[in-house]
Amino acid sequence: MDFTHLSNSILVFRRMADSHSQAIIERLTMSDAILQAGIQGVQGGMDQFGRAAGQIASSITTNAAERNGSVVDSLVDIKQAQIKVEASAKVISVADSMIGALLDEIA
């Protein structure tokens, strides 16, 4: 019996499996990077929101002219923070879907 053909087939299969595994690892690494970017975006938005809310709270002790400008700027910051958090949540959702698809592919 000629085992050379079988041995060659096994080597080809191993190379294909290694290549497929490497592709999955690369996609998983990319998904992780996307997930981390989304998490950082949410954290940044929440930090921005906290700073703006603090500025509004501290503006209570200032005079009316200063307070109005400060409050308007802070409200704009709060809206920007909201948009940042919503966009980052969508990024996290995409990364979650990518990771789920990779796990389905592995299984």
User: How confident is the model at residue 82, as a pLDDT?
Assistant: 97
In a domain, 14, yes or no: no
Domain range for 101: 27-106
pTM of the model: 0.75
The structural domain count of the chain equals: 1
pLDDT at residue 81 in the model: 97
Whether 2 is in a domain gets the answer no
Q: Tell me what pLDDT residue 24 has.
A: 81
- pLDDT, position 104: 85
pLDDT digits (tens, 9 = 90+) for 67-89: 667 888 999 999 999 999 999 99
Q: Is the pLDDT of residue 23 over 60?
A: yes
In a domain, 33, yes or no: yes
| 4 within a domain of the structure (yes/no) | no
Residues 6+ apart with CB under 8 A from 45: 81, 82, 83, 84, 85, 88
